[in-house]
Chains A and B, each alone.
Chain A
């Protein structure tokens, strides 16, 4: 025990005697650990934002739409000839289906939204029915969603997203206030809780939701919609999807051999898409990280060889006095690990600072797990880069070492 302690003390003394050199050596590790922890922070941040924004969609919600969510560029030409999805489908589905609890048509248009002097340009105005509140599992920050009669009669009421609220009503309560959409007044009855953005994915934060009928009134005319469907409790999404497919084919009058002329989309598709993006980001990040750690490790190895060379005589003296191989090995190994660990700690501290800064623009959080992983990675780097020089020190011939000047 005393011997190991002595080794660590001597290792620290050696580092303190060459502070500048040790610091320069650390730089590689600092950068390496910085990229480990930043990468980890970014990925967990992306995960969190993704989960938040996908929540608004509802886990088990199916969307009957003209286009599938993800398609190749040239496929679009095939899908555009499909007939539009009619808003009546929603009611017809509810009548026929045994697995469906809610179904609502929705459609969107873009418009400027004003309140007094404040305005937000080109806001997504989403028209839907009262059932949307049950389908999307929306969390409201305040107020309520619109009711069945409000849907049916196309009352001029609106539920606004978090960003709309902060832009139009920086310091007042929006409930009961009237905003202007396309020259029409809409009374605000609810505000949706903040969701966060994800890679350009549609976010509920920047949306104004009004009854579909009102949307049709103010924009004039009717057009294709998307029908959102929520299965009953105890029914799997797959079962519901199967029944939905059958009903839709009936509504469209398709013969058995004919292909579907509609798409049934679900959250799953986003997850798959997200997983591949996340994989790409992780792979690039991992590559950069491993590369910088290798460079940092080589730096340490290099300086350890110099350190062993410089202290050859010391090693000889210690061996003459009875130091065994492992003790010498441990002394130099601890020097490498200490350098690497200090570098890693500095890297984490810088990350903590950067994360604090990043949080202003992006969801970023440095987890304890990530700190532990980063510190372990720096210890491992230290051991790997120190083992060869330390082994060289341990194997020195005492007679030759003690004569070395």
Chain B
């Protein structure tokens, strides 16, 4: 069974009197340990897709199953858990999703270590274990020596590595990276992408949203979006090799 399965997913936003069809029926399957890039112009629906996959938003219709868990299925009555509540979605995000954002989205005024601890706090993990796990995650991104620094004392690349450590720390089913190099210079971007490649080698499943072809090439499969539909879905040279 696929790790992630979307069937005929649509998303309609109501902006004033106008209905905006952000997703017009998406079918997508991602297997465990796949490395997928999502590309497309702005407004093509790729951000909406990421929000749906990341359980930050729910589809208007269709079915979404993540790691065996039915997140949304409009064939099932609402009362029998065809649609998850806000708190249930929060639980799925906490347990199964690791987010990496373009703007890092670290909390200011708390240390790198504390930032990495946050998902574990919300998972209800005991303090002792929590600190060990957070340190281990920071070790994986080579930032162990910086863990007591606050985000404003770190460079952009370091901040993004803290964010990646935070995404990794609860062993998510899937890592969602939304333009992870968008705010970084080319050298730092390369470092971050090397880190992403390494995480994939270690068995993680990664979905990467980008509009840079160079970055997209790191993945094994590229999905192109256009006007709320998948325009193409093909393997990259890396994926074929």
List chain A positions with a Cβ less than 8 A from chain B.
Answer: 2-3, 6, 13, 17, 313-314, 316-327, 398-399, 402
Question: Are B91 and A2 interface neighbours, CB within 8 A?
Answer: no
Determine if B147 is an interface residue (Cβ-Cβ < 8 Å): no
Task: Select which of A6, A322, A399 is within 8 A of B94 by beta carbon.
Answer: A322
Residues of A within 8 A of B127 (CB): 2
CA distance A79 to B110 in the complex (A): 82
CA distance A326 to B85 in the complex (A): 13
A395 closest partner in B (C-beta): B86
| Closest CB in chain B relative to A161 CB, distance in Å | 67
Question: Are B56 and A322 interface neighbours, CB within 8 A?
Answer: no
Interface residues of B, count at CB 8 A: 29
| Closest CB in chain A relative to B12 CB, distance in Å | 15
Residues of A within 8 A of B94 (CB): 321-322
Task: Select which of B54, B56, B87, B121 is within 8 A of A2 by beta carbon.
Answer: B121
A7 closest partner in B (C-beta): B121
Known: A318-B118, A321-B94, A321-B118. Is A17-B123 also a contact (CB below 8 A)? Answer: no
For this complex, 12 residue pairs linking A to B, each with C-beta atoms less than 8 Å apart, are A317-B106, A319-B90, A319-B93, A320-B54, A321-B93, A321-B99, A322-B90, A322-B91, A322-B123, A323-B122, A324-B90, A399-B56
List chain B positions with a Cβ less than 8 A from chain A.
Answer: 51, 54, 56-57, 86-87, 90-91, 93-95, 99, 101, 105-107, 109-110, 118-119, 121-127, 130, 166
Residues of B within 8 A of A13 (CB): 109-110
Task: Select which of A2, A17, A317, A325 is within 8 A of B124 by beta carbon.
Answer: A2
CA distance A324 to B84 in the complex (A): 13
Residues of B within 8 A of A321 (CB): 93-94, 99, 118-119, 122, 166
Residues of B within 8 A of A17 (CB): 109
Question: Are A3 and B56 interface neighbours, CB within 8 A?
Answer: no
CA distance A322 to B172 in the complex (A): 12
Residues of B within 8 A of A402 (CB): 56, 101, 105
Residues of A within 8 A of B93 (CB): 319-322
| Closest CB in chain B relative to A225 CB, distance in Å | 82
Residues of A within 8 A of B125 (CB): 2
CA distance A327 to B122 in the complex (A): 9
Question: Are B122 and A322 interface neighbours, CB within 8 A?
Answer: yes
| Closest CB in chain A relative to B172 CB, distance in Å | 10
CA distance A320 to B93 in the complex (A): 7
Task: Select which of B56, B109, B124 is within 8 A of A320 by beta carbon.
Answer: B56
Question: Are B105 and A3 interface neighbours, CB within 8 A?
Answer: no
A398 closest partner in B (C-beta): B56
Question: Are B107 and A314 interface neighbours, CB within 8 A?
Answer: yes
CA distance A323 to B109 in the complex (A): 19
- Between A6, A313, A318, A320, the greatest number of chain B beta carbons within 10 A of the residue's beta carbon is seen for A320
CA distance A324 to B85 in the complex (A): 11
Residues of B within 8 A of A6 (CB): 121
CA distance A398 to B91 in the complex (A): 14
A316 closest partner in B (C-beta): B105
List 5 other contacts, CB 8 Å, given A317-B105, A318-B118: A2-B125, A2-B126, A2-B130, A321-B122, A402-B105
Task: Select which of A3, A316, A317, A320 is within 8 A of B121 by beta carbon.
Answer: A3
Residues of A within 8 A of B99 (CB): 320-321
Task: Select which of A322, A325, A326, A399 is within 8 A of B57 by beta carbon.
Answer: A399
Residues of B within 8 A of A320 (CB): 54, 56, 93, 99, 105
Residues of B within 8 A of A318 (CB): 107, 118, 122
Residues of A within 8 A of B51 (CB): 399
Residues of B within 8 A of A316 (CB): 105
